[in-house]
């Protein structure tokens, strides 16, 4: 069966445009500078009493020794805020490890429901094909 | 005095004037002050304490530490019933993070580090700022993540957090560097407060 010449032409033009657009998309993703500390998470632990200067140093040292905890640790009164790589350790694991290192009475901070319900725009789904494709291309070029 | 002597005397006076005007003392007076970025370490590469095996510009690292500490201090102040802190601006972000999605926290820290680095003298490509301009970034109609507009009081509170974060990271409050950082922040009040 002979395919009409105009249909063939339209097919190849469409294919060409698709290839060019795909190339632009790949270039765009490849040239993006990856976000520093992409898996950084901030977590907070509320203790039952404020820290003095020695207690501050001690709790910082204990947290620093836990795998995945980053360099910035903030101690303010009875509150400790720290950053960590959530692909290495989540906040529950770090909390459990810290509690095992000392005689502390504390609880993990959970964002209050009235504040947590505030509207935010949707973010990229890490299980979605867009996220996986972008990660694949970036891993090739970076 | 002979004609030759007069010419020689004129040449001596002119030469002295020219050399005096080119003295190194004047060069020191005219030299521009180092940028804030340079005074925070500049583009000298140092080991990144949060990413073993990677290097980072010392100026960028200083800013990243101040940005992280600022976020940490704000998080430390969040209380369900307390007003006056910046919880309302940051809890949506924390909720995402608590649910395991850290994309926007990482982008926020990265963008703020880029913004302050690039605009205070860190003009290498690593610090290129690609976020919104300050007016759009703080306009809820343009940026859906801004739940509400920022007031003058919010901005003053934020300045206080940044100042405290700078002090915690080694910039003493009685220094010219601290004054210059506060001046840069203050220049952002108009575009941020809407």
pLDDT (tens digit, 9 = 90+) per residue, B132-156? 889 988 887 887 777 678 889 889 9
Q: Kind and range of the H or E element at B22?
A: none
Examine residue B64 and state whether it is found in any structural domain, yes or no.
yes
Q: What's the angle, vertex CA A137, arms to CA A131 and CA A139, rounded to 5?
A: 95
DSSP codes joined into one string, A1-41? -PPPHHHHHHHHHHHHHHHHHHHHHHHHHHHSPPPTTTTEE
Query: What is the pLDDT at residue A26?
Result: 87
Here the ipTM equals 0.72
Examine residue B11 and state whether it is found in any structural domain, yes or no.
no
Query: Would you call A38 and B106 a contact, using CB atoms and an 8 Å cutoff?
Result: yes
**Closest Cβ–Cβ partner in B88, B105, B145 for A42:** B105
Query: Would you call B73 and A70 a contact, using CB atoms and an 8 Å cutoff?
Result: no
As a whole number, the mean pLDDT across chain B is: 81
Picking from A79, A121, A75, the residue whose alpha carbon sits closest to that of residue B95 is A121
How many structural domains does chain B have? 1
Query: Would you call A36 and B106 a contact, using CB atoms and an 8 Å cutoff?
Result: yes
pLDDT (tens digit, 9 = 90+) per residue, A8-38? 899 999 999 999 999 998 888 777 777 788 8
Picking from B114, B135, B1, B132, the residue whose alpha carbon sits closest to that of residue B56 is B114
Asked if the C-beta of A119 comes within 8 angstroms of chain B's C-beta atoms, the answer is: yes
Query: What is the pLDDT at residue A123?
Result: 45
Picking from A83, A137, A35, the residue whose alpha carbon sits closest to that of residue B97 is A83
Residue B60 domain boundaries: 32-192
- What CATH number should be reported for the domain whose range is A40-110? 3.30.70.100
Query: Would you call A70 and B50 a contact, using CB atoms and an 8 Å cutoff?
Result: yes
- State yes or no: pLDDT of A87 exceeds 70: yes
The alpha helices in chain A, defined as continuous H runs, are 5-31, 53-64, 91-101, 113-116, 129-141
Examine residue B65 and state whether it is found in any structural domain, yes or no.
yes
Give CA–CA dist A44/B87, Å, rounded: 14
Query: What is the pLDDT at residue B139?
Result: 85
Q: At what angle do helices A129-141 and A5-31 cross, to 10 degrees?
A: 70
Query: What is the pLDDT at residue B143?
Result: 78
Examine residue B22 and state whether it is found in any structural domain, yes or no.
no
Query: What is the pLDDT at residue B85?
Result: 63
| B contacts of A119 (beta carbons < 8 Å) | 92, 144, 147
The residue-averaged pLDDT of A128-133 equals: 72
Q: In chain A, list all ranges with CATH 3.30.70.100.
A: 40-110
Give the CATH number of the domain where residue B66 resides. Answer: 1.10.490.10
- State yes or no: pLDDT of B69 exceeds 90: yes
């Amino acid at each position: 069966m002979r395919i009409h010449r105009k249909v063939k032409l339209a097919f190849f033009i469409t294919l060409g445009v698709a290839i060019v657009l795909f190339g632009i998309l790949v270039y765009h993703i490849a040239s993006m500078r990856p976000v520093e500390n992409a898996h950084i998470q901030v977590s907070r632990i509320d203790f039952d009493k404020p820290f003095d200067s020695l207690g501050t140093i001690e709790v910082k040292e204990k947290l620093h020794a836990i795998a995945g905890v980053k360099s910035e640790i903030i101690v303010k009164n009875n509150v400790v805020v720290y950053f960590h790589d959530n692909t290495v350790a989540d906040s529950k694991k770090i909390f459990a490890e810290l509690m095992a290192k000392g005689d502390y009475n504390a609880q993990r901070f959970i964002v209050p429901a009235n504040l947590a319900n505030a509207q935010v725009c949707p973010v990229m789904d890490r299980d979605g094909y867009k996220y996986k494709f972008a990660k694949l291309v970036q891993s090739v070029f970076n | 005095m002979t004609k030759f002597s007069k010419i020689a005397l004129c040449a001596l006076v002119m030469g002295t004037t020219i050399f005096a005007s080119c003295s190194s003392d004047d060069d020191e007076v005219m030299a521009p002050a180092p940028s804030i970025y340079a005074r925070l370490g500049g583009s000298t590469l140092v080991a990144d304490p949060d990413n073993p095996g990677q290097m980072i510009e010392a100026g960028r690292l200083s800013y990243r530490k101040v940005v992280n500490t600022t976020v940490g201090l704000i998080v430390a102040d969040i209380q369900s019933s307390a007003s006056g802190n910046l919880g309302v601006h940051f809890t949506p972000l924390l909720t995402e993070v608590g649910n395991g999605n850290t994309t926007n926290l990482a982008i926020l820290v990265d963008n703020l580090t880029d913004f302050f680095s690039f605009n205070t003298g860190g003009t290498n490509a690593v610090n290129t700022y690609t976020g919104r301009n300050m007016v759009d970034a703080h306009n809820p109609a343009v940026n859906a993540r801004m739940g509400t507009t920022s007031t003058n009081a919010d901005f003053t509170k934020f300045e206080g957090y940044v100042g405290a974060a700078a002090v915690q990271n080694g910039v003493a409050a009685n220094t010219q560097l601290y004054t210059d950082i506060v001046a840069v922040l203050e220049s952002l009040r108009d575009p941020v407060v809407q």
